Chains A and B, each alone.
Chain A
Amino acid sequence: MKTPTSSLFRALNPSDAGNTAESKATLAEIDGSCRRPVLFLFTNSLLWLLGGTVLALLASWKMHSPGFLADWPWLTFGRVRPAHLNAMIYGFSSQAAIGVAIWLLCRLGRVPFMQGGIVLAATVFWNLGVTVGIFAILSGNSTSIEWLEMPGYAAYILFIAYALIAVWAVITFRFRREKHLYVSQWYLMAALFWFPWLYSAANMMLVINPVRGTVQAAVNWWFAHNVLGLWFAPIGLGAIYYFIPKVIGRPIHSYSLSVLGFWSLALFYSWAGLHHLIGGPLPAWMITISIVASIMMVIPVVTVAINHHLTMVGHFKQLKYSPTLRFIVFGAMSYTAVSLQGSSMAIRSLNKVTHFTHYTIAHAHLGMYAFFTMTMFGSMYYIVPRLVQREWPSARLISVHFWTTSLGVLLYIVPLSVGGVLQGLAMNDPNVPFLKTVELTKPYLITRSISGMIIAVGHVAFFWNFAWILARRLRPYEPPVAIIAAGLEQEVKAGLAGDI
């Protein structure tokens, strides 16, 4: 079946789409249409994951051994650390998120992805923007604004590339052949709408035409907190709401609860960012509203946690058999943990201890790695074999990937959180010299470097398996077990023959 990709005009105008609204696309058609753009996004994201991991290890090592590579200006801590953050956020996480979102929107809308070539070109631009931005940071041209360290010229490239990707994702959504929306589509569409808003507004007010004074900090944390909660978290949650029911073959425990979770996140989250500035010189009402919104976030978090848990009840044995489920459930549990931790960190008395300490760094990694990154890994384990039409080459590499990353990130978070609390208590004690507060964190920082090396092993294992499965596509077709079980073998072969 030919997909409606023959002309740009047809893709822009639903009324010109013929009878496509009546016929839902087959899974083989959808996967075929997503193959090139999504695999290209995943490949680039994993390359940035490896690069970002190297930068992370350098930055972590420098925290307890400041003399390490200290004579190389490009590799000083002040450059390597933001380069790591930007490589992970814009290089790895955003591209993985966009790839997963595109595939999910096509699958749930039962529509092939349209105009994949434009997304390929946009992905090239996106990677150009990230490369230029990271180069600028390493050469000393960072803006020094948290999460927006790339100079304005790199931000322009990123924004244009994102606009191309998002517009085509929205058009695909508009052409969906299943009109009723699943909760994952709400999360994904909201994220695709919120991110450009946040990114453009923050760049306008901080990089291109900077506001002055303490408002800079307010805008900065409005962006940095919301990019987590309104860009990465919705895409992670959208994936979790899709993959848990899909893998175990059972619908979500309570659909109503899932909808409540989405709308409460949409209404409360955008207010929460300024709890990072408790004690700062801002109007008290702004801080107070953020604290209230942070506590209100308990509602969506608890609804999501209950829903995911009750969906899994009776199916936990599947964790032994499904790589996707292992990563996704780990991500879902981490979402509950990081969100409740985040709400607690907005309480003034606790914030007084944890603010300006490594506790916040551990919290950020619980969110961005244990929740979001693990969820993206799980999603890729499900999506890639369906795009490539091949089985993952090595079960052992998958196991190595899971155990090194899951245990590695726990070894990162738990000791660093303990060290952060001790650091905060020491900093609040006027009898403790500041140097002592730095020295007491050293064992926890060394543990972090060790955990980082363990996680790096997992990343190499995953990349190896990913490169291997792509190479396998060059060989004759061998259907994955899941495809045989679903009785789709003939259809997939037909799809491959037509190279949909």
Chain B
Amino acid sequence: MQLLMFYLLGLGAVVAALIMVTNKRPVRAAMSLIATMSFLAGLYVLLDAHLIAALQLIVYAGAIMVLFLFVIMLLNIEEKEGRLAGSALLWQMIAIAVVGLVFVLMVSVVKLSDNVVPLGEAAALFGTTRAVGKMLFTEYLLPFEIASVLLLAAIVGAVILAKRRIDDSDQ
């Protein structure tokens, strides 16, 4: 049952990701990415990561992708089918080949290593909000606080970057 779920969710994630990267339309790409993230949330549930699965849906599929869709709708980009020049296309092919090599390398490293860690029973509170929250507020308190500073900096940066300059309208 778990194996079947893994294959279904994994296949869904890969297919949605492929639809995303082969697409020229930003809205379709965003929708496929939301699908990928939802499938990944299912995989997180399979891995007993309940808090992370919920966060994946709320923060990634909910907040971040809605922000993307807002920007896509706001900019109202006209679609332009541009073919690449010869040398750019060549470099693109080389880049894809290098990525393929890196993929083969990653898979062979995984395949060569013995699978020494068998799947044990998860601890009673594994992956729950209580267990992860306890770690966040004790062992990882400093990184947690620094993350809040990072978010504040991001808010300020986003507002400064995206706001219309006041002196622009005067000219």
Q: Do A and B come from one complex?
A: no
